Amino acid sequence: MNHHDSFTSTPAGAALPAFPPPASSLSAAQKRQQQLQNDIIALIFRRQLGQGDPLPTEQELIDELGVGRNSVREALKVLEALGIVKVRHGFGTFVGGNALTSMARALSFRGQLALYHGGQEALELVEVREALEVGLLRAVIPVITPDELANIKAAYDDMEASVHNGIWLAECDQRFHAAIFEPLGNELLSRMLDVFWQVYNNISGVLDTVAPLDEGQTCTLLDAHRKLYEAIRDKDADAATRLMSEHFVGIRARLTSWQANWLAEKES
């Protein structure tokens, strides 16, 4: 299958959902700009363009869509920020392929911003990551190979070494969790998990500036990861999902503590 095949089920001229969804509060000019963005997306589908393919030139877009140069440039800037297109100055505009990077930046910003306004949205973002990891863990157990299990163990060993050196390396933790879901062979899932890991890691970085993990907490975390690895190794799906859920209890507790402190300071 080539990179165009995934678009062939969309008939030319077919109606496409608005992106982003229209809002009644938008001004007339904003609605026109939003429609132009949708028109450019529809053009990508209609021409069955794939990742990395060039869009029509700026002048061709102006002529085909019947709009001004500034409007086209503004629409392309928005679509580039969303990861839908990539503008290469001097070369043209191309179909983007890493929209999740933009999503990660936006969600990380929202999560960190939420910490200074009570932390509720940060907690919700962590809950999304929890739903993904706990929900998918059972699918890993029957298919994991010895080599894939060894990758989890290697990440754990590096994590253990860092703790014994008095630090908690987030990179080792990320590798550990990523290695768990590698057996599923789902690239989109891996990228989604990476997005929510980045979001959590940035939120955790803010929490660490106020209440960093102490030695006892890092040892508890390390032990939890060891038990999780052993449950996966032993193909004990019930224990593995329970341990993964318990892991997120600790994460939520840190955020709940932050919320309580924030409310106390606000009311004082």
Q: Where in the chain are the domains?
A: 29-96, 104-267
Lowest mean pLDDT, pick from 135-139, 155-159, 162-166, 209-213: 209-213
**126 near 201, Cβ under 8 Å?**
no
Tell me the pLDDT tens digit for each residue of 36-73: 999 999 999 999 999 899 999 999 999 999 999 999 99
CATH architecture for segment(s) 29-96: Orthogonal Bundle (1.10)
**143 near 184, Cβ under 8 Å?**
yes
The predicted pLDDT at position 23 comes to: 52
**In 10 A of CB 135, how many CB atoms?**
11
- Greatest mean pLDDT range, 78-92, 136-150, 191-205: 136-150
The predicted pLDDT at position 13 comes to: 39
What is the third-level CATH fold of 104-267?
Four Helix Bundle (Hemerythrin (Met), subunit A) (1.20.120)
Q: What confidence category does residue 242 fall into, taking pLDDT thresholds of 50, 70 and 90?
A: very high
**For residue 219, what are its two tokens?**
């040892």
- Judge whether residue 9 has pLDDT over 60: no
Whether 104-267 and 29-96 are alike in CATH topology: the answer is no
Q: How far is it, in rounded angstroms, from Cα 190 to Cα 83?
A: 18
- Greatest mean pLDDT range, 8-12, 208-212, 252-256: 252-256
Alpha helices in 116-186 (DSSP H): 120-140, 146-164, 170-181
**Single pTM value for the model:** 0.68
